[in-house]
Structures are given as structure tokens and as C-alpha cells.
Amino acid sequence: MPYMGQEQPVPPVPTLLSQPVQGRMFSIPAGYHVEMHSHAWVQFTYASAGIMQVLTERHSYLLPPQCALWIPPGVRHTAYSAQTLAFRGLYLDDSVLDGYRRDGAVVQVTPLVRELIDKASGFPLEYPADGPQARLLRVLVDELRELPEAPFSLPLPSDPRLRRITDALQAEPGDNRSIEAWAQQVGASRRTLVRLFQAQTQLSFQAWRQRLRLLAALPLLAEGMSVTVLANELGYDSVSAFIALFQRHYGKTPGVYAAGLGRGGVVTG
């Protein structure tokens, strides 16, 4: 009988759920891209080790250790990590949510939820509907609904001119070109870009680029890059300015954050 905790190559995405709550646990090799896909159910995506990037058509999410992503039904998504991931996932049928709805969001995984997921990872895929495994999973679902959000998401615009800009900046976060220079690049007026950025991301261009850079810093810190080199890589004029922005956004300095990664910790904001 297959178990949720089996280590195996990345398995195919199921087309049907065998249980109202179905777990998935496996390693994802470094550099592996999960193809864009969607589900008819909620997916709770979590990596207990490694930093995972998840992309949807409207958001980019970064999941440090002990953070997870709530993905609503029907949302197309893909995942990638430069590091090997210890993937943990839960599929939640609507029947166990009692009408609960939540937009896509990065959430903080509490110690209790982490332990419950670890416990559930040893359950067989076919467990009795009225047995102890099902009761524990119902407690786990209740806990998932209460998880607080964490500041690791980046909204993406739909306008093709803006997407040219945001795609280029995601590839090179340290690009310091002004919005006027981008306007000439994509064939739009500055006023149009300013208006569209605010309307489609709820952020100004400057605020969007700053959030992108702060997110881009996380995997580089995990790889051991020094704060000085990192600040320069991301286009900051000074190391102190980068540290101040990082601490204001995440509640910890980059150095403290990097030390926490070594212990499987996570920044909360």
C-alpha cells in the first residue's frame, strides 16, 4: 500500500482525490520545474526544507522554510527551486472546508501544524473515514484555516506592457532603470504606466520593485551570499539602506534571517 511519506521521484498530479484530505510528500530535485497546472480542490503547498518559488498568472510567491501557500481551486500554478526541496502538500476537498474560502496567500506554518503534517505523512492513502487518522486530519484542516499570512507575495500585472517590465525585473532585480526609461522601452507614457501599476498591483512602480528585491534577497541569503554583495547585486546605493528596508519589511536584519535559515527558521512580518 502506498504511503504519504514515501520518498519517490516527483509523482504525477492526480486527477481525482481518493480521500477528502490527501497528503503528498516527496523530494523535488534542485532546478526542477513543476509544469503549470491546476486542481479542482484547494492545495496547501509547503516545503519543510528549501526555498520554493510558486508562480500563478497573477502572483509570484516565495516560500521560505516553515511557510506554505494556500492555492484555491482552479488557480493555475507552477513551482521551482534552485535547491532540493522537501515537499509537503495537502489536497483539501470542499467537503472538509465547511464553506471556508481564502484567496491565494503565503501563510506562516505554526509548530503545531508542522507536527500534524509530519504525523499525517505516515498515514496510508486509504484511511478509514471514521478512524483516528481522519479525526486528526480534521483537526489539521481547522488549524490551516487559522494560519496568519506572511509577507512573501508579489502581485503581477496583466497588461502586456507591464508584464514585459516585471518579467525583466524578475530576471534582473538590480536593474535601476527609471519608470520613464521603461516607458520608452515598452512604448507607453509614464502616466499610463504609473496608473496601470497602481490599478493592477495595488502598488506603485517603486514599491513593487522594492518588494521584488526584498523577495529576491531570500534565496541568495540561503545560498550564503554576504549582505554587502547582496545589496550591490540588488541595486541598492548602500548596504545600510538595504538592511533598513529588509528589517522594516521582515522584522529582522538580513544577517539574523540568514542565521535562522540554518536552523530551519523563518522571518515573520
Measured distance CA(110)–CA(190) in Å, rounded? 44
Measured distance CA(62)–CA(47) in Å, rounded? 11
DSSP state, residue 109: P
Q: What is the pLDDT of residue 11?
A: 72
Measured distance CA(12)–CA(130) in Å, rounded? 28
Q: Which three cell numbers stand for residue 139?
A: 483537526
Residue 56: strand pairing partners: 77
27 with 140, same domain: the answer is: yes
10 falls within a domain: no
The count of other CB atoms within 10 Å of the CB of residue 132 is: 10
87 with 161, same domain: the answer is: no
**What is the maximum span of the chain, computed from C-alpha positions, in angstroms?**
64
Q: Which amino acid is at 172?
A: E
Confidence of residue 266 (pLDDT cuts 50, 70, 90): very low
Tell me the mean pLDDT in the region 214-225: 91
What are 123-160's pLDDT values in tens digits?
887 888 889 999 999 999 999 999 999 989 999 999 99
The count of other CB atoms within 10 Å of the CB of residue 251 is: 13
In SS3 terms, 138-152 reads as HHHHHHHCCCCECCC
25 with 75, same domain: the answer is: yes
256 with 200, same domain: the answer is: yes
DSSP state, residue 131: S
Q: Which domain holds residue 41?
A: 21-144
How many domains, in total, are found in the chain? 2
DSSP state, residue 2: -
